[in-house]
Amino acid sequence: MTSVQIEVLLQTLISGFLLGGLYALIGIGMTIIMGVMKIINLAHGELMMVAMYIAFILFSLFHIDPYLSVFIATPALFILGVAIQKYLINPVLKVESILPENQVILTVGIGMVLANIATIIFKSDYRQTPVDYATKAWYLSDIWKKAPIELSLSMPWSVSFVIAVLITACLWFFLAKTDTGKSIRATAQDHDAALLMGVNVNRMRVITFGLGSALVGAAGCLFIPIYYIYPDIGGQFTLIAFVITILGGLGSTVGAIIGGIILGLFESLTATYVGMGWAPVGRFVIFVAALVFLPGGVASLLKAKKFGR
Amino acid sequence: MKHLSFILIISLAVSLFAAPLYAADALDLTIPLPLTGKQAKFGEIMKRSYEMAAEEINAKGGIKGKKLALSFEDSGAKPEIARAIVEKLIDVKKQPLIVGEYTSSCAKAVAAVAEERKTPYLVVASADDDITTQNYKYVFRQNEVNNHYADALVSFLKEIVKPKTIAILYESSAFGTSGATAMERDVQKLGAKIVLKEKFETGAIDFRPILGKVRQAQPDVVYTVSYANEAQLLMKQIKELRVEAKLYTGGAAGFAIPEFIDGAKDAAEYVVSATLWTPQLKYPGTKEYAEKYKSKYGGYPSYHGASAYAAVYVVKDALERAKDWSRDGIRDALKATNIKTAFGPVKFQDKDGYQNQNFMDTLAIQVIKGQFETIWPKQHASAPYVYPVPTWRERR
């Protein structure tokens, strides 16, 4: 390996890891909803879109940095999620239907409504928050003058990654240490047993949906300094979250984190060594491979080693 | 019961809105274009421009005394939907003329339907070469084809930059692929060598992997074909990774819209792009259209808008000359078109294997001090070009 090849490999790994961290945050939201509700929330990407627009409005009207809007958009999305669960999904849960998955179909509808409302309000223009630090980066040659290779670390990407890690850590703390968190986990593990133990399952569902929305909302705020928005952006992130949820093992938080990072690294490596046009193919190869060879996802591996959950 | 009455009210309201605004002295023209989905941005620019032109025409008495009543149908940039819309327009509404669509894949689908049903179709902003090389008799194209999109850019490269090596990055869409193929052919003419040709997916987030390869290949010129926002993300990441090349160039679309400069900011500086039209052109009506659009919507339109605006005038011209408003009458009139529009001269020719194709001067623009300036060819230039461009390190 020449030094240039090493440079390309390291740069690929760095960007794959950073991307994976952000993917993980998107995936976790879907996975905890999956765990508790046993449904795939197909409006997930659209919820992220809503958060991105909130960050966009705050930036363009009040010049609030997108990273600060995490503290505004996340609670807003929590409330939105709670409202969706309470007033839209819960009523549907009670209805007897031919299709047991009618809540999933409902989430598709919610996603469409959100995307179209955004089209009406914001038009289909591409928007972005042109922050000053968008192209700032740290360079290896600045720190180590005689470095044989040149690596760079994008500032907004790194900041987004660090915040994503912090949020994930807070989530872990919440699920592992607090009463509500434990009740959520109990509901996810065994709905009936939790009910018998006096857990307010309905309330846990509402909180979980809010929590999942809040997480993807935070991800939206972290994405906007490095990406752009338009009303129909949701679909591609729903897809990514879905792949991560399957890859990580349905409902497993740790699985989703590892799944996200695997997906990020895999996409970057495919892009470098196979071709960037193949990245979506890579995404589905890993998706199908996970379904065939590892139906329980990363979570089943973790369980086999008596670790995690 | 409460629910039932609610539904009734809603459906009543919907049917009221949906009722066709039909007037006896109006000429109905329904235009299919993408108003949702990834390409909606361009659909919207075009919709506004169609409307502006129709308003102007109606204010001056319409077409042969009839008011032009435009309506729009959203295809979402999906060929199957575009096809269904046009089938409906031709078979049910008996519309004798189709105008519109944006993406090349939709235009291809529409062209096939139009030809089959012998209905003239005016392509406004779809660039894939195949659309006018099928020996279609009823398909007319007003904008330049992909193969010649970059003509001005190529001549700029040939005379000023003289690159030895070129890297081509392109989006995996019909437009991106044919743009890259055309560039590949032009590179031969330049006597340069292609050191890298890489495809990326639409909506990609992270371009660093291919940029690593660009850096490894060390090309003189980087040429990119993409819609919308991939262009600005790519330039931002090029700046961040400090990928040095003598010149960064782009093939219209994403590199030629105001969002490119807004989004990429200083990373957009000195980027040269091919384009078909700029507000700085000196065609009759160009400036008026551009200024009117700007005062109404707060920004200059891209060439898509200008082409759409001009298309309504081309239609007006053809309808006024047509012996009757039958499909064939309109087709013959379109074929004989020879007018000057805000988009440039329009004349449909059979040449170089194309049928009913309008050939026009293409342009090269460069971002100079955060503004698009026309730099090439010289007779259209609004500012002198900047070359050589400073390296990323020097720009700090």
Regarding whether B351 and B312 lie in a shared domain, the answer is yes
- Answer yes or no: is B391 within a domain: yes
Please say whether the beta carbons of B237 and B261 come within 8 A. Answer: no
Regarding whether B391 and B256 lie in a shared domain, the answer is yes
- Answer yes or no: is B304 within a domain: yes
Instruction: List, for residues A40-96, the tens digit of each pLDDT value.
Output: 899 999 999 999 999 999 999 999 999 999 999 999 999 999 999 999 988 888 777
DSSP state of B390: P
Using DSSP, state whether B63 is helix, strand or coil: strand
Regarding whether B271 and B229 lie in a shared domain, the answer is yes
Q: CA of A138: which chain B residue's CA is closest?
A: B240
Regarding whether B298 and B196 lie in a shared domain, the answer is no
Q: Say whether B36 and A119 touch across the interface (CB within 8 A).
A: yes
Regarding whether B195 and B118 lie in a shared domain, the answer is no
Chain A hits for B203, CB-CB cut-off 8 Å, are: 236
- Answer yes or no: is B239 within a domain: yes
Query: CATH number for the domain including B53?
Result: 3.40.50.2300
- Answer yes or no: is B4 within a domain: no
B205, B228, B239 member nearest A19 (Cβ): B205
Instruction: List, for residues B27-68, the tens digit of each pLDDT value.
Output: 999 999 999 887 888 899 999 999 999 999 999 998 988 999
- Answer yes or no: is B17 within a domain: no
DSSP state of B325: S
Q: Which residues of A make CB contacts under 8 Å with B? A: 4-5, 7-8, 11-12, 15-16, 19, 115-116, 119, 123-126, 128, 130, 134-137, 139, 150, 152, 154, 226-228, 230-232, 236, 267-269, 271-272, 275-277, 279-280
* Measured distance CA(A51)–CA(B184) in Å, rounded: 42
Q: CA of A225: which chain B residue's CA is closest?
A: B263
Regarding whether B37 and B134 lie in a shared domain, the answer is yes
- Answer yes or no: is B9 within a domain: no
Number of domains within chain B:
2
Regarding whether B80 and B64 lie in a shared domain, the answer is yes
pLDDT(A1) > 70: no
Q: How close, in Å, is residue B33 to chain A by CA atoms? A: 13
What pLDDT, on the 0 to 100 scale, is given for residue B21? 42
CA neighbor of B47 nearest in space, from B60, B63, B31: B31
pLDDT bucket at A303, cuts 50 / 70 / 90: confident
- Other Cβ atoms within 10 Å of B291 Cβ, number: 12
What pLDDT, on the 0 to 100 scale, is given for residue B6? 55
A123, A126, A271 member nearest B210 (Cβ): A271
How big is the A-B interface in CB pairs under 8 Å? Answer: 115
Burial B120-129 (b: 16+ CB within 10 A, else e): bbbbbbbbbb
Regarding whether B181 and B59 lie in a shared domain, the answer is no
Mean pLDDT of all residues in A262-276? 87
- Answer yes or no: is B13 within a domain: no
What pLDDT, on the 0 to 100 scale, is given for residue B4? 53
Phi and psi torsions of A285, nearest 5°: -60, -45
* ipTM of this predicted structure: 0.79
Q: Which range of residues forms the domain containing residue B335? A: 25-144+283-358
Q: How close, in Å, is residue A277 to chain B by CA atoms? A: 4
pLDDT(B253) > 90: no
* Measured distance CA(A269)–CA(A262) in Å, rounded: 10
Instruction: List, for residues B289-335, the tens digit of each pLDDT value.
Output: 999 999 999 888 888 899 999 999 999 999 999 999 999 999 999 99
Q: Say whether A228 and B242 touch across the interface (CB within 8 A).
A: no
**What would the 3-class secondary structure string for B7-66 be?**
HHHHHHHHHHHHCCCCCCCEEEEEEEECCCCCCHHHHHHHHHHHHHHHHHHHHCCCECCE
Regarding whether B78 and B103 lie in a shared domain, the answer is yes
Q: Which domains does chain A have, with CATH numbers?
A: 3-304 (1.10.3470)
Regarding whether B268 and B187 lie in a shared domain, the answer is yes
- Other Cβ atoms within 10 Å of B379 Cβ, number: 7
Regarding whether B369 and B222 lie in a shared domain, the answer is yes
- Answer yes or no: is B15 within a domain: no
CA neighbor of B275 nearest in space, from B162, B372, B194, B137: B372
Tokens of B70: 């435009």
Paired strand residues for B72: B31
Regarding whether B223 and B201 lie in a shared domain, the answer is yes
